[in-house]
Chains A and B, each alone.
Chain A
Amino acid sequence: MLDFLFSGWGAFWMTLFMLVPFAAIFFYVVHRKSVTDSGPSTTAGAKMSRLEGIWLTVVFVIFVGVNLGSLKYMPTMKAAHAATSNQQLHEIDFSATSWAYDISNRQIEAGSTVRFSGKSKDTMHGFAVYHPDGRMLFTMMLMPGLKNPTTLVHTFNEPGTYKVRCLEYCGIAHHAMQDELVVVKRS
């Protein structure tokens, strides 16, 4: 379930999870206190304070819980793990120039963990890798003029053709800045 939560659609449902109950309570309170009965309520101050405490506690617990749960899914954590363990990494270096990529190796064996390292040679570019089923796996931001590359560690398990797209607007042919990676079955 956490795998789903920390995907793009998981983000969507998380946002709705924060919106829908709030919107429902909002429309209930407004309707109740403007149409049904707009007179002052007799709810005691102590009860309001208790409600306030409960509300803020629930919010705090959800916020902390979600962020702790996300740790495992942060590429920054995966990179730190790869650096400290003896994990075998398949290195792929690339550079971006308007509007194409120069990639050191476009073929990856299924099951291998890849470290992508990329730089931009002219303006801001992105490097987003899409699963063959169309969802986005990750994106990287490439800023020109930096000494070190932007890096990311990712493990590819399913064979197929993975689309690469630039997600940082880079001028009139930005949408055509695409490439492909191929994940093949382990021989």
Chain B
Amino acid sequence: MSIASTIVQNTPIFGKMFSVDKSTGLEEINAWPALMIMASFVWLAIAGLLGFVMPVTQLFDMDTGLFYTTLTLHGAALAFPFSFQLMMGVGLHRSGGCVGKPVTGWLPALAFITMNVGAGLLTVAVLMGLKVSLMVMYPLPLVGAQMGIWSMNSVVLGFTGIYLVLACMILCYPILMLKMTFFGKKRPDLVLAERSLNDPGMLGMILSAMTLLVAGTPLVIVGTTVMAALYGIIPMSMAAWATEPVVFQYAFFIFAHNLMEAMALMVMSAMYATLPLYLADGTRKLFSNKLANLALWILLLTSVTSFLHHFITLYPNQPAGLSYWGNIMSWGTGIGAAISIFTVLATIWQHGLRAEPGIMAVLVGWVLYILDGASAMVTSNIAWSYQLHGTMWQSGHTMTVILSMSIMWMGVLYHHYPVLTGRKLDPMLGSWFVRLFVVGGLGAAISMLAGGAAGMPRRFAAWNQEGWMVYGNLTFFFGAILGASFLVYAYSLLKSREISSPLGQQVAAA
């Protein structure tokens, strides 16, 4: 039995949601993904609770330090060990079944360990006082240590944690994906639904793995240099170039921006692969594979350099030419989105839809993703950027992009769940989850964008100015509905039932 299945089996509550099915001979594909998905939901539970603490500290005028601690932990937990790890788990399960290769060996283990140990170390560092927000705000960690706000030990620990998380996202996961796709022998017994690279459902996975590797390399170099200096392996003077704020910030955002784009490519490809399975007339065909692939390529090419929109308000230190370029490329991604909008709606129109909870979660996640894309394009326009940068608009955008992609993966998980666990989920609970999510997700996103439009600063422990508290309260309210939708989802995982129909059918349907 795989060590991953054993860990899942011995984990209280969460283990029950994901106990691995070993009866089908697919444990080699199931075990590590099940463990990763389970761990991601543990982090979601932590992040969700912290999400409520933030507005509570504001409502009851509590300690501002508590606000910044929860802000840092909430963002970090949501973005990496929840969202990315969920994607990694479901994505690896998909790939294993598409190319007929096992998800075993030291690489998946390393990906799991680096992500969770890294996130754990960062959590400890934040609890030790390192309140630097999700974005680290370099050189804030070092400046804070110099000022005596937090200890240098917490900085070293926090950086080590972040470094491990990055190693998982930039190296372990993409290398594992590429290895599974291009190397090793295909095992017919592991093939669930064969796909080639011409298939949009596979193309996006590979494009995104490549994006993570390429866009992450500068940050790996800079990060490794800084880490080596922090641990005294090389003298600080040798790392001086890498500790320059401008070098670190640009390396960070080339990666951070493209990380989001890579995750978007992956989730789009998962949708292109999943939607055809739920078409009412059983055609299993997209309106056009060519259009779907074109959208992915446009998204990839325009997004690579659109990270420049993060530094528009740094003018003239970021030359205007680069900002215009970032502006144009950001709106270029909108063309890719417009094409995918047409492809998805035309597919449903042509073939009809079996509106089951899984595919509905994918689709409403995608609607939220389009809203997020619109908000991102708007704030990437130079004129608007000067009015929105640093406000709740950005927090709303960041939260929404992570939330929308996660919900799409949670929808895709509906499809994988029977193969993973040999059990199926209750459709009634599923449709309640989707309904609550639509209200909570859209409501929270729009409330935060409105706060930004009103000039409400983000990462700011004093909401009670200029009437901004109303946006905080609205976000709190819709956040509670969002929390309820996740609880319903978790409950449906706990209450899943053994599949009564022959397993062969379920596997074939995957």
Residues of A within 8 A of B (CB): 6-12, 14-16, 18-19, 22-23, 25-26, 29-30, 33-35, 37-41, 43, 48, 51-52, 55-56, 59-60, 63, 66-67, 70-71, 73-76, 79-80, 98, 122-124, 126, 128, 130, 134-141, 143-146, 148, 150-152, 165, 167-176
Contacts and interface: CB of A to CB of B under 8 A. Distances in A.
6 contacts: A11-B387, A48-B350, A124-B137, A150-B316, A167-B389, A167-B390
Contact of A15 (B374, B390, B462): B374
Contact of A34 (B64, B68, B355, B459): B355
A136 B391 contact: yes
Contacts of A70: 381-384
Contacts of B450: 12
Interface residues of B, number: 88
Given A67-B327, A98-B143, A175-B461, A7 B353 contact: no
B371 to A, nearest CB: 5
B176 interface: no
A60 B315 CA distance: 28
A33 B315 CA distance: 50
A139 B454 contact: no
A76 B323 contact: yes
Given A11-B388, A67-B328, A165-B457, 7 more contacts: A11-B387, A15-B375, A30-B353, A51-B342, A143-B317, A144-B245, A171-B131
A59 B295 CA distance: 14
Contacts of A23: 367, 371
Nearest to A36: B352
Interface stretch (B19-27, B154-162, B218-226, B331-339): B331-339
Which of A55, A56, A70, A139 lies at the interface centre, i.e. has the most chain B CB atoms within 10 A of its CB?
Answer: A139
Contacts of A38: 280-281, 352-354
B342 A74 contact: no
Contact of B246 (A60, A136, A145, A150): A145
Contacts of B281: 38-40
A174 to B, nearest CB: 7
- Could you tell me the dominant secondary structure of chain B's interface residues? helix
Contacts of A170: 137, 140
B378 A11 contact: yes
B338 A59 contact: yes
A140 B313 contact: yes
A4 B131 CA distance: 37
Contact of A143 (B246, B339, B363): B246
B390 A172 contact: no
B251 to A, nearest CB: 14
A185 B335 CA distance: 48
Given A8-B388, A123-B137, A123-B139, A15 B314 contact: no
A130 B387 CA distance: 10
B346 A52 contact: yes
Interface in B434-481: 446, 449-450, 452-455, 457-462, 466-467
Given A11-B393, A124-B140, A144-B245, A98 B147 contact: yes
A55 B340 CA distance: 12
